[in-house]
């Protein structure tokens, strides 16, 4: 069963069957953001004051020692989850957290709760930050919840709370906290990194660890993790006065040692440029049109795949520009809005497998394969 790529455009969503190239369009109003629900089939679409449920149409049913695979037409289905200023969605270890920026409300569900196309009240676990802010929450395998705290004007605190709301761990040394990723867990539990404006922080072994950086200002607000690797890929911004910084360096956080190295790719990238391969490879799509595939441990470039025409980050982040996502099938999917194309790359081989024409100019991208995303790929080490 081929993966399905789901893309937004001005006027709705496109679903591409990456086996046949067939495109199905679904009309929807407003600027839409895409989030994997965690079950490998559904998406949660951030749409203003709600999260809308989108069924990609890929169905995998387990039967003893094998699975049955089915396909149906994609569609927006089921009731929406109300959320003032619907923001970040994080699926982790079988649970999915939805953050409402307008209230600080956090809705946590089992990632399989979407399988019947409905979300019932008894499946919903409600939490709340102390105040409304642009935040994020991560359900931990222990049953606890990692969440940010702040206000609309500032935020610098990250906490881990028990199901009853007791604060189990906290750091206040994360100004401008934004961006989160999960890395390979330790025997003690989850490893989570977050971006700050003075170097990242890591939650590991029940406590927070600061990552030292050379600059007074260092923002890693966009992160890509893999449970196959203890290394987290981040963007690396270091100019506090830049109106629109276009960095060429990336950061590689080693969560084992609370340290970070940088790699200069000699070409700028943006927040939709970062992804991870099935074996943990660091993947960065740069403005020179290349998909850079790196060994995340050494920073060595394994493959440079010329994939799209040269491009530059737009002034408005909502505008179309190339994006990359990697599915649980280990393939990288890359949009080329200027040409209205979707490309598919074999990450391990560094080769282009196929390219598909699109009827509309794509903006956001995500990929579903039918396999749940929350357990992560096979782990190294």
List for the chain the helix, strand, coil content (%; round to 5). Answer: 5, 50, 50
Q: Write down the pLDDT at residue 379.
A: 28
Cβ pair 295, 276 in contact under 8 A: no
Q: Would strands 137-139 and 125-128 be described as parallel, antiparallel, or unpaired?
A: unpaired
CA distances to 154, 324, 342, 357 from 361, rounded to whole Å, are 35, 15, 10, 10
pLDDT of residue 351: 98
With contact defined as beta carbons under 8 Å apart, do 195 and 134 qualify?
no
Residue 40, CA distances (Å) to 25, 58, 95 in order:
20, 8, 13
Q: What is the DSSP letter of 296?
A: T
Residue in the structure block whose two tokens are 């539990």: 189
Q: How far apart are CA 23 and CA 344, in angstroms?
A: 15
Q: Which residues of 210-225 are buried (b: 16+ CB within 10 A; e: fewer)?
A: ebebeeeebbbbbbbb
Provide the CA 238 distance to its chain's centre, in angstroms: 22
pLDDT of residue 377: 32
Q: How many CB atoms lie within 10 A of CB 274?
A: 23
Instruction: Give the CA distances from residue 330 to residues 255, 309, 350, in Å, rounded to whole numbers and listed in that order.
Output: 23, 24, 12
pLDDT along the chain (381 residues), means of 10: 95 96 95 95 94 91 63 87 94 96 96 81 88 98 97 96 97 97 97 98 98 97 96 98 95 98 98 97 98 98 98 96 95 98 97 98 96 54 29
Read off the tokens for 188. Answer: 């003690």
Distance CA 303, CA 256 (A): 26
User: Quick one: which of 240, 242, 230, 248 has its CA closest to 292?
Assistant: 248
- Paired residues of 305 in beta bridges: 291
Instruction: Show Cβ contacts of residue 153 under 8 Å, excluding neighbours closer than 6 positions.
Output: none
Task: Report residue 229 CA to chain centroid gap.
Answer: 16
């Amino acid at each position: 069963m081929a993966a399905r790529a789901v893309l937004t455009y001005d006027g709705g969503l496109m679903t591409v069957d990456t086996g046949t190239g067939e495109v199905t369009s679904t009309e929807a109003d407003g600027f839409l953001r895409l989030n994997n629900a965690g079950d490998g089939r559904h998406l949660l679409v951030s749409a203003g004051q709600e999260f809308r449920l989108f069924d990609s149409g890929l169905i995998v049913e387990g039967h003893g020692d094998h699975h049955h695979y089915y396909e149906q037409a994609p569609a927006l289905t089921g009731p929406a989850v109300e959320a003032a200023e619907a923001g970040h969605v994080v699926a982790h270890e079988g649970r999915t957290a939805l953050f409402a920026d307008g209230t600080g409300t956090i809705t946590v569900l089992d990632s399989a709760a979407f399988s019947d196309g409905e979300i019932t009240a008894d499946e919903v676990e409600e939490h709340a930050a102390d105040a409304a802010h642009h935040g994020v929450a991560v359900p931990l395998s222990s049953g606890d919840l990692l969440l940010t705290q702040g206000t609309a004007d500032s935020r610098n605190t990250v906490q881990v709370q028990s199901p009853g709301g007791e604060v189990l761990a906290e750091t206040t040394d994360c100004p401008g906290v934004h961006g989160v990723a999960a890395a390979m867990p330790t025997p003690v539990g989850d490893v989570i990194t977050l971006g700050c404006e003075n170097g990242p922080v890591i939650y590991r072994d029940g406590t927070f660890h600061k990552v030292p950086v050379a600059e007074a200002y260092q923002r890693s607000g966009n992160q890509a993790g893999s449970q196959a690797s203890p290394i987290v890929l981040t963007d690396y911004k270091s100019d506090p006065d830049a109106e629109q910084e276009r960095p060429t360096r990336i950061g590689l956080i080693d969560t084992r040692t609370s340290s970070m190295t940088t790699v200069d790719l000699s070409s700028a990238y943006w927040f939709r440029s970062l992804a991870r391969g099935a074996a943990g490879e660091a993947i960065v799509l740069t403005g020179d049109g290349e998909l850079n595939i790196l060994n995340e441990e050494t920073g060595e470039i394994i493959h440079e795949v010329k994939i799209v025409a040269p491009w530059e980050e737009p002034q408005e982040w909502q505008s179309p520009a190339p994006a990359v996502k990697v599915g649980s099938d280990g393939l990288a999917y890359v949009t080329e809005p200027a040409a209205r194309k979707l490309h598919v790359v074999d990450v391990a081989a560094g080769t282009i497998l196929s390219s598909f024409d699109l009827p509309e100019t794509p903006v956001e991208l995500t990929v579903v394969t039918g396999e749940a995303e929350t357990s992560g790929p096979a782990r190294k080490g």
